Chain A
Amino acid sequence: MSHYYFPQVILEEIFHRLPLKSLVNCICVCKSWKSLISDHSFICDHLNRTIQANLDNSSLFLFTSLKKRVQGFKYYECQDFYSLYSDNHQQSDDGDNSSVMKSSVIPLFTCEHKEMVGTCNGLVCLADYFVLDTSDLIIWNPCIQKYLVLPKPSVIFRLSDPDHRRNRVFFGFGFDSKAKDFKVVRLVSTINNKEETPQVEVFSLASCSWRNITGKAPPILLCMQVLWKHQMSINGVIYWVVSQRRNGRIHNFILTFDLVEEEFGELMLPEILRESPHQLSILVGEDSLAVVHTYCSEADEEYISIWVMKDLWSEVFHCDTRRYGGISSVLAIRNSGELVLRIYGGMIILLDPVNESVKDLGPRDFVHAFAGYHVESLFLINEQDGVLSY
């Protein structure tokens, strides 16, 4: 039997046109195919090709936790689901023409207090915020059903410390395009009404270890009304909203972290938000930085306003929260201007503010809901350093 000898370039060209499921099949064909597909540079090329092919068709990643009462007992159990939403109907593998893919239950998380830190290049970062001194973190690739539990960071708090209840942890997750490496940034600060320099550690997926870079961050103040845990990474820069005290007044600004240079920076918010005493946070945007502001009018009516940064800040959405069935929170904004909204009563909708059309995105009756952007990628396929399959 003759063996077809294909030059590697031809094989790669064919592989880049395969869906992820078929690529995983190809890994199991023979040793040379396995090493070609598992190669880090192939995985990065694959990501770039997938991004290029889906420029106008980004998928939304929805993560929801459902609470179910355990029969015969008084306690509840949490079950996690994720679903993908794409405008491209052909994306659905199982042939049912629905644009919302079936939710998949995730068997790997048992803790109830998890939150999605963010999504980046096909990976999802989840944090367990319940036990403050450990804050378990997971990096997960839902498409190939693999995840990594990160090693413990070195900055931990002792329960014996009388101040430990004031400690607050928040994270950033993104991709360093120079080192082609995923990084998690962990900031530890305290809620005590005064500015302080957070302790900072950076986790690199390539080295699977934490590095302490405390000292690089500016002093910050964590205010109650600012949802400083919310983050977004765009092109290798992570963004959070935090505050400082300037001239005796609270001043909100955007703290940035460049994942390549590992340097912090500062970005101005729209003027009207800089001293706002109302709820303010980063909004998950597709390619642009966005913030969401929830405030009360003088007539005590609640409004949501969304600002997007393109060269300059501009307000793209402004609405009474009682509309559309009652907006509980804004989960994401797409390049098209469409918004992913969580509605009171348990529903996630996609709203096009221009023609006011609404699409039901499926999940209901959840206790937690997060949204991010998704692209299929092969990261974590190699199972080094403790990556697990489920």
Chain B
Amino acid sequence: MSSSVEAITVLSSDGDEFKITVSAAKLSKPLNWMLEDVCFSDDCDEVPTIEVNSKTLVKVIEYCEKHAPRANSGASDSDAEELKKWDIEFMKMDVKDILFHILMAANYLHMEGLYDLACQTAADLMKGMTVSQIRKIFHIKNDFSSEEQEQLRRQHPGCSFD
């Protein structure tokens, strides 16, 4: 890889082009491997595709750019505190629309920090939910028969169904 490269261009699954700085890209293992690969050398004009849609990729890149300075150099406690606050704001997003896509993307791109954050956000969201509310946000169909449903109610008296 040429050292003169400071930002790379990637394509989303929708075919849109995105720029991401090298230091930010290093937060993802697969992107890091790509960096070491020939495709970012100066004499290569092939743009790699990331299997993440544009809307999600924007958020992922935003996260990477914010976290890159700390990940690359280490940070003071006050920075960590500020970053934590930023994460909370960053995660205030529509679940169905984007959070689940971020989860999948973070898993696919091996981004530990973002994956952790998204899993925790999803879990926090589910904490106060009833069974039917959980089904709704995950788009899950109830596949229990009415007899099985009755049995579940008997077996889990502490469970909140509706």
Contacts and interface: CB of A to CB of B under 8 A. Distances in A.
Interface of A: 1-4, 6-7, 9-10, 13-15, 17-19, 21-22, 24-31, 33, 144-145, 383, 389-390
B103 interface: yes
Interface string B103-125: 11001000000010001101110
A14 B122 contact: yes
Contacts of A390: 157
A2 B139 contact: yes
A21 B141 contact: no
B128 to A, nearest CB: 8
B155 A13 contact: no
A17 to B, nearest CB: 4
11 contacts: A3-B141, A6-B103, A6-B104, A10-B104, A14-B119, A18-B126, A19-B127, A24-B158, A25-B159, A28-B159, A383-B155
Nearest to B123: A17
A253 B139 CA distance: 61
Contacts of A28: 131, 144, 152, 156, 159, 161
A10 B103 CA distance: 8
Nearest to A390: B157
Contacts of B159: 24-25, 27-28
A21 B158 contact: yes
Interface of B: 100, 103-104, 107, 115, 119-120, 122-124, 126-127, 129-131, 134-135, 138-144, 152, 154-161
Contacts of A22: 123, 126-127, 129
A112 B155 CA distance: 27
Contacts of A389: 154-157
A30 B126 contact: no
A376 to B, nearest CB: 13
A25 B123 contact: no
A107 to B, nearest CB: 11
A144 B156 CA distance: 8
A2 B135 CA distance: 12
B65 to A, nearest CB: 24
A39 B2 CA distance: 50
B155 A4 contact: no
A13 B116 CA distance: 9
B127 A18 contact: yes
A333 B138 CA distance: 45
Given A3-B141, A17-B123, A25 B129 contact: yes
Contacts of B142: 29-30
B111 to A, nearest CB: 13
B100 A25 contact: no
Given A14-B123, A25-B134, A145 B157 contact: yes
A389 B100 CA distance: 35
A29 B135 contact: yes
Nearest to B115: A13
A30 B152 contact: no
Contact of B160 (A7, A15, A17, A25): A25
Contacts of B155: 383, 389
A356 to B, nearest CB: 34
Contacts of A33: 140
Contacts of A14: 119, 122-123, 126
Nearest to A382: B155
Contacts of B119: 10, 13-14, 17
Closest 7 CB pairs of A and B: A17-B123, A13-B119, A28-B131, A28-B152, A14-B122, A30-B140, A3-B139
Contact of A29 (B100, B122, B140, B157): B140
A242 B78 CA distance: 57
Q: Which among A2, A9, A13 has the highest number of chain B CB atoms within 10 Å?
A: A13
Nearest to B140: A30
Contacts of B122: 14
A190 B157 CA distance: 43
Contacts of A21: 158
A229 B148 CA distance: 43
A55 to B, nearest CB: 19
A3 B139 CA distance: 5
